[in-house]
Amino acid sequence: MRSLIAVMALFLGLTASASEKPVAKIEFDRSTEAIHRGAEVVLNVCMGCHSLRYMRYQDLRFAGIAEPEITKLRGEHAPDDSLLSAMDDAAASESFGRIPPDQSTLAKAREGGANYIYSFVTSFALESDGSVVNRMKPETRMPDVLGYATSSGTDRAAIEGQIRDAAVFLEWASDPRAGERRTLGRYVIAYLILVTVLLYFVKRRVWKGIPS
Amino acid sequence: MGKRLVEWVDRRFPLTTFIKHELTEYPTPRNLSIWWTFGFFAGFMLVLQIVSGVFLAMHYKPDATLAFASVEHIMRDVNYGWLLRYIHSTGASAFFIVIYIHMARTLYYGSFRAPRELMWWTGQVLLLSLMATAFMGYLLPWGQMSYWGAQVITNLFRATPFIGDQVVIWLRGDFVVGDATLQRFFALHFLFPFLICGLVMIHLVALHFVKSSNPSGINLADKDNIPFHPYFTAKDFYGLGIFLIIFFYFVFFHPEYFIEEANNIPANPLVTPPHIVPEWYFLPFYAILRAIPDFAGGVVAMTLSIMVFALMPYLDRCKIPGGSRYRPVYRAMFLIFAIDIVALSYVGYEPPSETLAVVGQVATAIYFSLFLLLPFASKWEDQWLRKRGLPKPVVEMMESEQRQRAAGWR
């Protein structure tokens, strides 16, 4: 949709003015390993507050994560349990004033997807008055997780790598059937091209017999 | 055996006569271009939407607390549910693209002219029904854009004189869009496609009575007609192949292209999205609504902008056939209209700003001026072209049409 609008803008010689801090364009590693690492980050860290209520533990198999690894990730939970946060809604509302947004559709729900999530989480900055504010979305209630993690002495670059993996995992989780869809799509398009070529020859042959 | 069965049926039902009359002996102008295939595509999209929609309805829950989750259930848990849902959501956009091209062809080639006014008007009713169906269907995923889009559009009925507020409450079944609205929209979204099927039948009966128009814009002599089957069945299915390649490319590789990001957030009556936009196919009309500073005036202008098409057979007073083909003035007006629609769509999509408000108002003015100007421009063009001298084949075609008219339409 965005690119369609951009074409329209070109058509009119108009440009839209940006009002927010732009979403960074990052090269993500989208391998199964990265999604697996991201799953560990999301399940162990993000899910402290956020849920992924439309995801089930067994859905992780669609990402190509092996069965024993899934068993490790789900721990006490049943395979078809939803990925619910450890914090219940009442406690979350009390701590943050609202329920933290569900992450199962998060990457689809934000323009920019994984880029948005990574940019958002890494956009917290110390202001001159000593408060920590998110430059991309100042009104957010989310604390600076990157800041907390680095304050305990962990290397910032390593944490940023984890956030990238988490963003890739959330991108996958918002559309877990994407891999299956693209695979099937290639066959469908190939079949349609074949059929269309045949239909073209049928059409040509039929029209040869046209009465004049 | 087969022959005897057909004979048995034919004595009780006009099967063979029907196939002859509507397909194997139905005369079709041989010069129909690719633009005449879009009616067939529209019929195909209607069937595809009904089939995918019925299967979606088997898993969907029209309940404000369950709707969003049931769509995610379809996307994640139902076998090939993602395929059904993406066919249906992409199908809505594809349907409108097809219908708009179908309408653009009718306008460009002047196919709405006598004797095809009733085809054009049943088409207009079909367009309105399709818009209503699409609008109600868009509420069903119960995302933020669904919810607030429905809130804004139902609110437009507040412009009804005297009983505006009551009409809005009656439509919503509540003071705001809520569970009652969702459930009735689901019921109507399920019903409307079958009404559309009935209307399509009327559209087709009219078509098979007056026969297809064609790029020359004039009724052709018998020798220029060929039977619909096998010539146009072969051509239409070849066209359908190309259409489906493009359609399924979007379904499988860019299915979220036509879905607003905000619609992946569950509806929340307490949080208004910063920028509410309707689906792309409503954008030009939405821009016209916003271009008029007065609320009731905007609603009237928007309604007029859709309904004005019905007047085309009377607004176009040029007697020269062929729509844009032999008419440079009309062709220029069509082109300006097309650019104007694109401009309005852009203005409708972007958040309001002072510059865009002016662009929107100018584009709206151009939109209506073109329709207002048409009766005079077409009359003048008719005289100008005749004075300049029409090409011989056109004169011959007009004379042949006059002879046909004298002999009665058929």
Interface contact B249-A189, CB threshold 8 A: yes
Q: Say which of B189, B213, B260, B279 is annotated catalytic.
A: B279
Determine if the peptide bond prior to B141 is cis (ω within 30°): no
Compute the residue count for chain B: 410
Instruction: Name which of B265, B342, B356 to mutate to probe chain A: the one with the most chain A Cβ atoms within 10 A of its Cβ.
Output: B265
Rounded to a whole number of angstroms, the distance from the CA of A154 to the nearest CA of chain B is: 34
Chain B residues close to A5, C-beta within 8 Å? 346, 349-350
Interface contact A184-B342, CB threshold 8 A: no
* Under 8 Å between Cβ of A12 and B359: yes
Task: Summarize the confidence of residues A25-43 as an average pLDDT.
Answer: 93
Rounded to a whole number of angstroms, the distance from the CA of B351 to the nearest CA of chain A is: 9
B165 included as an active-site residue: no
Tell me how many domains chain B contains.
2
Please provide the distance, in angstroms rounded to a whole number, between the alpha carbons at the two ends of chain B. Answer: 38
| Sequence-ordered alpha helix ranges (H) in chain A | 2-12, 32-44, 67-74, 89-96, 106-109, 114-121, 145-151, 156-173, 178-208
B236 included as an active-site residue: yes
| Sequence-ordered alpha helix ranges (H) in B31-80 | 38-57, 67-76
B234 touches chain A (CB under 8 A): yes
Residue A16, pLDDT score: 39
Instruction: Give A24's contacts (C-beta < 8 A, 6+ positions apart).
Output: A115, A118, A119, A122
| Together in a domain, B238 and B208 | yes
DSSP string of B343-399, one letter each residue:
HHHHHHHSPP-HHHHHHHHHHHHHHHHHHHHHHHHHHHHHHHHHHH---HHHHHHHH
B7 touches chain A (CB under 8 A): no
Extract the tokens encoding A190.
């190939």
Report if residue B42 sits inside a domain: yes
**pLDDT grade for B403, boundaries at 50, 70 and 90:** confident
Report if residue B157 sits inside a domain: no
Instruction: Name which of A53, A170, A189 to mutate to probe chain B: the one with the most chain B Cβ atoms within 10 A of its Cβ.
Output: A189
Question: How much is the mean pLDDT over chain A?
Answer: 88
Query: pLDDT tens across B26-50, in order?
Result: 999 988 999 999 999 999 999 999 9
Q: What CATH number has the domain bearing residue B202?
A: 1.20.810.10
Pick the range with the lowest mean pLDDT from A3-12, B36-45, B163-172, B216-225: A3-12
Residue A5, pLDDT score: 61
Give the range of the structural domain holding residue B246, as residue numbers without chain letter: 33-148+180-266
| Together in a domain, B298 and B397 | yes
Residue B115, pLDDT score: 87
Task: Summarize the confidence of residues B347-354 as an average pLDDT.
Answer: 93
**pLDDT grade for A9, boundaries at 50, 70 and 90:** low
Extract the tokens encoding A75.
């721990």
| Together in a domain, B223 and B141 | yes
Picking from A8, A56, A182, the nearest residue to B342 by CB comes out as: A8
B221 touches chain A (CB under 8 A): no
| Together in a domain, B189 and B56 | yes
Report if residue B14 sits inside a domain: no
Q: Which of B266, B301, B317 is the last residue of a domain?
A: B266
Interface contact B248-A192, CB threshold 8 A: yes
Rounded to a whole number of angstroms, the distance from the CA of A130 to the nearest CA of chain B is: 29
Q: Name residue B390's beta-bridge partners.
A: none
| Together in a domain, B286 and B256 | no
| Together in a domain, B213 and B351 | no
Task: Summarize the confidence of residues A133-158 as an average pLDDT.
Answer: 86
Q: Which residue has the tokens 């959330």?
A: A170
| Together in a domain, B94 and B189 | yes
Interface contact B69-A54, CB threshold 8 A: yes
B409 pLDDT above the threshold of 60: no
Compute the residue count for chain A: 212
Size of interface A-B (CB pairs under 8 A): 115
Instruction: Name which of A11, A60, A203, A210 to mutate to probe chain B: the one with the most chain B Cβ atoms within 10 A of its Cβ.
Output: A203
Picking from A105, A109, A192, the nearest residue to B244 by CB comes out as: A192
| Together in a domain, B188 and B262 | yes
- Rounded distance between C-alpha atoms, residue A56 and residue A74, angstroms: 10
Sign of torsion, CA A64 A65 A66 A67? negative
**pLDDT grade for A24, boundaries at 50, 70 and 90:** confident
Instruction: Name which of A3, A7, A8 to mutate to probe chain B: the one with the most chain B Cβ atoms within 10 A of its Cβ.
Output: A8
Task: State percent of chain B over pLDDT 90.
Answer: 87
Report if residue B330 sits inside a domain: yes
Picking from A1, A9, A102, the nearest residue to B257 by CB comes out as: A1
Interface contact B255-A181, CB threshold 8 A: yes
Task: State percent of chain A over pLDDT 90.
Answer: 62
| Together in a domain, B104 and B40 | yes
Interface contact A192-B260, CB threshold 8 A: no
Q: What is the ipTM of this complex?
A: 0.92
Interface contact B343-A109, CB threshold 8 A: no
| Together in a domain, B258 and B304 | no
Report if residue B237 sits inside a domain: yes
B117 included as an active-site residue: no
| Together in a domain, B238 and B363 | no
- Give the chain B residue nearest A188 (alpha carbons): B248
Interface contact A185-B255, CB threshold 8 A: no
Report if residue B163 sits inside a domain: no
B382 included as an active-site residue: no
- Give the chain B residue nearest A15 (alpha carbons): B350
B346 touches chain A (CB under 8 A): yes
| Together in a domain, B88 and B185 | yes
**pLDDT grade for A19, boundaries at 50, 70 and 90:** very low
Question: How much is the mean pLDDT over chain B?
Answer: 94
Residue A83, pLDDT score: 95
Pick the range with the lowest mean pLDDT from B179-183, B224-228, B240-244: B224-228
- Range from A15-29, A188-202, B212-226 that averages highest in pLDDT: A188-202
Picking from B226, B240, B346, the nearest residue to A12 by CB comes out as: B346
Chain B residues close to A9, C-beta within 8 Å? 346
Q: Say which of B52, B212, B213, B216 is annotated catalytic.
A: B212
Query: pLDDT tens across B378-399, in order?
Result: 999 999 999 998 888 778 778 8
Report if residue B260 sits inside a domain: yes
Report if residue B276 sits inside a domain: no
Please name the residues between 99 and 138 in chain B that touch chain A, using a CB distance below 8 Å.
Answer: none
A122 pLDDT above the threshold of 60: yes
Chain B residues close to A200, C-beta within 8 Å? 238, 241
Residue A129, pLDDT score: 86
